[in-house]
Structure 1
Amino acid sequence: MHQLVVEAPAKVNLTLDVKGKRDDGYHELETVMHQINLVDRLTITAIPEGIAISSDCADLPAGEMNLAYKAAQTILEEYPDRGGVSIHIEKNIPLGAGLAGGSTDAAAVLKGINALYKLNLSLPQLMTMGAKIGSDVPFCLQGGTALARGRGEILEPLSSHWQLHLLLVKPKFSVSTAEVYRRFDMGKVSNRPDTRAFLEGWHRCDMIGISRAMENVLETVTAALYQEIDEIKKRLIKLGALKALMSGSGPTVFGLFLDRAGAEQAWQAIQPCEEEIFLVTSYDGRKS
């Protein structure tokens, strides 16, 4: 096997709470993350040496600023006798959107190189590598739905036996995650997620229950900088969403709908608009 194709699904944060600032400078998080069927596709090819990155997205960095490059570098440094890789990224996940586009590409590279070079690394071993690359990479490796704590690397898998139907709206601008966390002020948070109630609702497959428990404390920062966040949330609620919430540090906002028909109706009604729009559901890796 000299080449393989790996899917890299995006994620949304169904809840996001910040518990405090850690001694290492990171924030202590409690967040429920969920993979969706908006995916990048990475073609990974074995080459004699080095790391080459290419993409159909002109704005995607090709060097060490790219997490996919960093992932390849991290794993290949452990196996210098195995050769290099050429990685082509078909980019469908928007950049700087709060959807873990960079982290999921990094996870796909770790999985892909592990398979390509038959390294036989376990998932926990890959996740340990992933945590060095980015806080969301361990979740992107594990997949599905999970409650994440710490920097996001301490994961408790949640059963994913039901489908969520979401409409994503990505404004024209992008947001720096580091800048959002730098500006975050615990004292200005008014709406926190009820994580316990969310988990109870999740295990009951209670869509109304989870929608009432969902919040993202980082909205206090991003929505204050960009009024479009609140405007998009209001539009989605008017279109029938049970809940509208920003994902991660933003700026993507998603609406949670009771069923596929409701999400499709909203998708049709919101067109045309200036933002990028994605009608998505839960990612099922078994169908990839």
Structure 2
Amino acid sequence: MDKVERIIKAPAKINLTLDVLHKRQDGYHEVEMIMTTVDLADRIHLTLKDDNKIFIEVDKGFVPSNDQNLAYQAAKLLKDRFKVQTGVHIFIEKNIPVSAGLAGGSTDAAATLRGLNDLWNLNLSLDALAELGAEIGSDVPFCVYGGTAIARGRGEKLEHLSSPPSCWVVLVKPPLGVSTKDIYEKLTLSEMKHPDTGKVVQAIFNRDFHTICNGLANVMEEVTFHLYPQVRHLKERIWSFGADGVLMSGSGPTVYALVQNQSRAERIYNGLKGFVDQVHVVRILGSRHKV
């Protein structure tokens, strides 16, 4: 069998802004947020099988290895929609923290779509894969493309942006999981202070790192901070080490720092490593995936 195996990188995302505009009639919330990919990635190993079945394996025990896994759902969607008669073994090498606000499950699904598009010779465009990804989860379309974008609607309507200026990103995941659904349910839309998304978009266009850092904002922070005070304390601690900008990603609990200076990024890492187990120093990726 030709082209029997592929290894696809599945990078994490962070939010530079996250705004919730209103509750929609379909029960979802209308969002507007800027997301960008960072160089912390899962690796998705895809191996074609003759038995016409989808088999999934994960190297971390707390990630589902059944039809609850979004990568499994991505493979099944492609297989059913295009009547593929070949099976696949999916092995997920997890590096992105789980339940962390970093789109770990969504990026695994997106990488599976891209990889199987190639292995199964489906010849679908990224646009077509993103449309399919929207059936799996709101963050999957962004993860199909990667790069930097404004996401609207449920997160599936994307406006692509140029990449932010190159910088270091220190990702810090405290030892707890946060339910996005719980955070959404506790949002008080009338009381929230909305990010200036346009200002951050302009700063990205101008490659103005200082203004990007000043514009970092996430309306979910206050709810997550109220439920999990340790996340607020973590953010304050990161500021105290001299980060240029600090924000919680998604519904949390991961908090990240943007830092231009490598030695300062290393100082933040060293200052947090004894306090939190999961600390990563990575770069903003910025560039979009290719088919």
TM-score category of the 2 structures, normalised to the smaller one: over 0.9
Matched, 1:148 2:134: no
Out of 176, 180, 183, the position equivalent to 2:183 is 180
Assess, with a 3 A threshold, how the Cα gap between structure 1 residues 187 and 161 changes in structure 2: closer, same or farther.
closer
List 4+ stretches of structure 1 deviating above 6 A.
284-288
Out of 85, 89, 92, the position equivalent to 2:95 is 92
Matched, 1:139 2:167: no
Matched, 1:233 2:260: no
Contact 2:173 2:276 in 1 (8 A): no
Structure 2 Cα separation of the partners of residues 161 and 244 of structure 1: 15
**What secondary structure sits across from 2:26 in the alignment?**
coil
Unaligned runs of 5+ in 1: none
Out of 166, 190, 203, the position equivalent to 1:163 is 166
Structure 1 residue 286, shift from structure 2 partner: 8.7
Structure 1 residue 208, shift from structure 2 partner: 1.2
Contact 2:144 2:289 in 1 (8 A): no
Out of 107, 111, 114, the position equivalent to 2:110 is 107
Matched, 1:55 2:58: yes
Contact 2:99 2:179 in 1 (8 A): yes
Contact 1:40 1:91 in 2 (8 A): yes
The residue that corresponds to 1:15 in the other structure is 17
Q: Given residue 149 of structure 1, which amino acid in structure 2 is its aligned partner?
A: R
The residue that corresponds to 2:205 in the other structure is 203
Contact 1:37 1:284 in 2 (8 A): no
Q: Give TM-score, length-normalised by structure 2.
A: 0.95
Structure 1 Cα separation of the partners of residues 199 and 84 of structure 2: 50
Structure 2 Cα separation of the partners of residues 128 and 147 of structure 1: 16
The residue that corresponds to 2:275 in the other structure is 273
The residue that corresponds to 2:6 in the other structure is 4
Structure 1 residue 79, shift from structure 2 partner: 2.4
Q: Given residue 271 of structure 1, which amino acid in structure 2 is its aligned partner?
A: K
1:5-27 Cα distance to aligned partner (Å, 9 max, x none): 00000000010000001111111
Structure 1 residue 265, shift from structure 2 partner: 2.0
Q: Given residue 120 of structure 1, which amino acid in structure 2 is its aligned partner?
A: N
CA RMSD of aligned residues (A): 1.6
The residue that corresponds to 2:194 in the other structure is 192
Q: Give TM-score, length-normalised by structure 1.
A: 0.96
**What secondary structure sits across from 1:18 in the alignment?**
strand
Unaligned runs of 5+ in 2: none
Contact 1:82 1:117 in 2 (8 A): no
Assess, with a 3 A threshold, how the Cα gap between structure 1 residues 149 and 36 changes in structure 2: closer, same or farther.
same
Structure 1 residue 232, shift from structure 2 partner: 0.8
Out of 29, 32, 46, the position equivalent to 1:30 is 32
Structure 2 Cα separation of the partners of residues 103 and 222 of structure 1: 21
Aligned length: 287
Structure 1 residue 201, shift from structure 2 partner: 1.2
Out of 263, 266, 288, the position equivalent to 1:264 is 266
**What secondary structure sits across from 1:146 in the alignment?**
strand
Contact 1:188 1:220 in 2 (8 A): no
Identity %: 44
